[in-house]
Amino acid sequence: MGFMRHEAAVVAGDGNVYLTEDGGPSGFYRMRPYDRAHEVGALDKGGKLQMLRARNPDGSRVTDLTSVGAGATFDADWVPIDNPDQDPEALVASPGSAFEIVGSGRSGPFMQGEAQGGAAFRRLEGCYYSAGVVYFTDTSGGRAGRGSLWAYDLHESTLQLIYASPGIDESNHIDNVTVSDSGLIIACEDGAARPGGGSRMQALAPGRDAVTVAENNIVLGRGNTLGIAAADYRDAEWAGATFDADGKTLYANIQTPGITFAITGPWDRVMG
């Protein structure tokens, strides 16, 4: 599925695998499997890798996805990545690293897609499939560079900007994303890096400001009942958010020091 810094992947209702690339710049990809059986090992048989391309109404390529506002919608198609294993711009030795050689610069798949007009994002992270739509986050996207949420509609083949942070106070580098069966979108911030508060989980909706539903306020002293090292963990990111089957409980983790929460609704009141 491509020689790149993989971040997240989902198998959507059309049987294709959609992938985000944690690089800068990065592409949004899909892999069309040769074997679409819902069986362990089916994806090992490979498939065709493609990169998303966004187009204006006149058919021209969209050259800058970071300057558009929320609600902007583009036609989307896919360009082939003929050599998924192509090397990145550079392979360099990394002194002191556990890996003798590491890649740097644009990935091989990205460079192939870029040459065909593929869409360039700043740094893609979370990815989630729900009801015919693949949602994915650009953690440094938007005009303010503080994160954006995109939606690819499988049936309409369109790309829409659902949300873009106007600044650090409202939302800061969203990462993981999940969607309830009722359509509530929850995104996790990747670190605080702001005065006066810890990282947040936020509800997002088209045309609305982000609504904070949880904030990391974990500061543990010596001898705490959890048996965890004393420290200020408020900068640690929320991760792995997902709703249970009935949509009443949201499970989420604080990545460091590793704590899982179960948060109950009423979720239908979150966006007012």
Per residue in 118-175, pLDDT tens?
Answer: 999 999 999 999 999 999 999 999 999 999 999 999 999 999 999 999 999 999 999 9
On whether residue 23 sits in a domain, the answer given is yes
Please count the residues of the chain. Answer: 272
99 lies in the same domain as 186: no
81 lies in the same domain as 177: no
Q: Which two tokens stand for residue 172?
A: 């800061």
Residue pair 134/18 in contact by the 8 Å Cβ criterion: yes
Its domain, for residue 230, covers 168-272
Q: Of 122, 157, 182, which closes a domain?
A: 122
Q: How far apart are CA 151 and CA 135, in angstroms?
A: 4
User: What is the residue-averaged pLDDT of the chain?
Assistant: 92
pTM above 0.85, yes or no: yes
On whether residue 24 sits in a domain, the answer given is yes
pLDDT of 222 strictly over 70? yes
Tell the residue number behind the tokens 């050259």, with chain if given.
63
Instruction: Name the strand (E) or helix (H) holding 110.
Output: helix 108-115
On whether residue 140 sits in a domain, the answer given is no
Domain count of the chain?
Answer: 2
**Which of 12-21, 209-218, 262-271 has the weakest average pLDDT?**
262-271
On whether residue 181 sits in a domain, the answer given is yes
